[in-house]
């Protein structure tokens, strides 16, 4: 189980995403959270792999990187909703 967060650190929504990630890590310390710059090589590769065209992107990944659910855009999901996909 892992939460993958792709975003652009120099964007208008960067602070909101960073606060969301900090809160998520504090509330759910056992969940792995990977944060990537969408414009880095690894971020671009993940965006291609999961067909992401809008940021920020949050991806709930199961074992072996299997996509459980994806949220795109500035309206971030409730943390409880994300957890429900990570534990399903």
Q: Which domains does the chain have, with CATH numbers?
A: 2-86 (3.40.30.10)
Structure confidence at residue 88 (pLDDT):
67
Helix, strand, coil % (nearest 5) of the chain?
Answer: 40, 25, 35
Residue-wise pLDDT for 21-43, tens only, equals 999 999 999 999 999 999 999 99
Cα 50 to Cα 43: distance, rounded to the nearest angstrom: 11
Q: What are phi and psi of 14, to 5 degrees?
A: -55, -45
What pTM was estimated for this model as a whole? 0.94
């Amino acid at each position: 189980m892992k939460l993958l967060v792709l975003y652009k650190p120099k964007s208008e929504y960067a602070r909101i995403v960073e606060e969301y990630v900090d809160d998520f890590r504090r509330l759910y310390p056992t969940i792995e959270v990977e944060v990537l710059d969408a414009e880095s090589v690894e971020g671009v590769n993940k965006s291609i792999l999961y067909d992401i065209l809008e940021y920020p992107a949050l991806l709930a990944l199961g074992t072996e990187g299997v996509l459980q659910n994806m949220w795109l855009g500035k309206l971030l999901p409730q943390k409880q909703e994300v957890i429900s996909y990570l534990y399903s």
